[in-house]
């Protein structure tokens, strides 16, 4: 199999100085919502590759990736600079298990994301699966400042379309913002305010939780959920918590 497929940049959307979305045209293999691929650029004669989650659902004519510039990071700071028509390399085959086919059935589906890790959930929410398999879908999306809250219009549109089924709750941790929860997802999980605010109960008998992003948030959320009786979802031992760490 070819190791890399050449892609062309169709769009580089700048949300803030640090946050961008790339749309890329590339002939890669089909993937599942929630998966990631590797993007690569040739930098000073070396091909530097990193994993990035698909934002768009399978079957789209382009591929979209949402990322931030990490201080000193070799690839992310070069991705920011890409222009329409530039070449970018993609791994031909997607990977990853943060997909709904790995998640057992339930009544409530909880999606917890920090920062750019909203990407895989945007992809999943654009498919029919969550709406067919769960009565309620709750998305908690945490960022530092209001300006970092990207794709909010997509979430609003989903909330309109799936009014009875979908609750999305932004968290803004470093400034006060009307309509957003203050602080961190982990605090709201622990003190019950996440359930109070969404009006949805989190329980081992019927809830499934997918978590993605900052590894400390993933770890701490899992500990809190385990103390509530939820278990990590493993292929040989189905549970309630399915995770992906971004670093």
Ligand X SMILES: Cc1cc2nc3c(=O)[nH]c(=O)nc-3n(C[C@H](O)[C@H](O)[C@H](O)COP(=O)(O)OP(=O)(O)OC[C@H]3O[C@@H](n4cnc5c(N)ncnc54)[C@H](O)[C@@H]3O)c2cc1C
Nearer to ligand X, 133 or 232 (CB): 232
Given a contact cutoff of 8 angstroms between Cβ atoms, the answer to whether 28 and 56 are in contact is: no
User: Interface mask (CB under 6 A) for ligand NAP, residues 66-95, using x and -?
Assistant: --x-xx------------------------
Contact residue for ligand NAP among 23, 173, 198, 207 (CB under 6 A): 173
**How far is residue 240's CA from residue 234's CA, in Å, rounded to a whole number?**
9
**How far is residue 126's CA from residue 118's CA, in Å, rounded to a whole number?**
13
114 is in the binding site of which of ligand X, ligand NAP, none (Cβ under 5 to 8 A by kind)?
Answer: ligand NAP
Dihedral through CA 124, CA 128, CA 129, CA 133, nearest 10? 130
What tokens were used for 13?
A: 């959307």
C-beta atoms surrounding 94 within 10 Å:
22
Min. distance of Cβ 227 from ligand NAP in angstroms? 15
244 lines the binding site for ligand NAP (CB under 6 A): no
**How far is residue 217's CA from residue 146's CA, in Å, rounded to a whole number?**
19
Min. distance of Cβ 171 from ligand NAP in angstroms? 6
Q: Concatenated DSSP letters for 101-133?
A: GGSPP-SEEEEEEEGGGHHHHHHHHTSSHHHHH
Contact residue for ligand X among 52, 110, 121, 166 (CB under 6 A): 52
144 is in the binding site of which of ligand X, ligand NAP, none (Cβ under 5 to 8 A by kind)?
Answer: ligand NAP
Contact residue for ligand NAP among 118, 142, 211, 241 (CB under 6 A): 142
102-121 binders of ligand X (CB under 6 A): 115-116, 119
State the residues that interact with ligand X by CB under 6 A. Answer: 36, 50-53, 65-68, 70, 73-77, 96, 115-116, 119, 244, 246-247
């Amino acid at each position: 199999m070819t190791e890399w497929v050449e892609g062309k940049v169709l769009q580089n959307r700048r949300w803030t100085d640090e946050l961008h979305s790339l749309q890329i045209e590339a002939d890669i293999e089909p993937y599942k919502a929630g998966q990631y691929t590797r993007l690569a650029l040739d930098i000073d004669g070396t091909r530097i590759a990193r994993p990035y989650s698909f934002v768009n659902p399978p079957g789209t004519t382009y591929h979209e990736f949402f990322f931030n510039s990490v201080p000193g990071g070799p690839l992310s700071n070069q991705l920011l600079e890409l222009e329409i028509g530039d070449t970018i390399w993609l791994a031909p085959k997607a990977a990853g298990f943060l997909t709904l086919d790995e998640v057992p059935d339930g009544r409530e589906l909880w999606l917890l994301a920090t920062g750019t890790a909203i990407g895989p959930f945007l992809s999943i929410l654009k498919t029919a699966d969550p709406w067919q398999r769960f009565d309620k879908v709750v998305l908690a999306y945490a960022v530092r400042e209001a300006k970092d809250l990207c794709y909010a219009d997509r979430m609003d549109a989903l909330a309109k379309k799936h009014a009875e089924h979908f609750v999305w709750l932004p968290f803004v941790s470093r400034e006060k913002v009307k309509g957003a929860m203050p602080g961190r997802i982990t605090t709201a999980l622990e003190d019950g305010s996440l359930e109070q605010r969404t009006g949805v109960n989190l329980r081992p008998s019927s809830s499934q939780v997918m978590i993605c992003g900052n590894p400390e948030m993933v770890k701490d959320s899992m500990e809190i959920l385990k103390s509530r009786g939820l278990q990590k979802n493993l292929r040989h031992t189905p549970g309630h918590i399915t995770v992906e760490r971004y670093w």
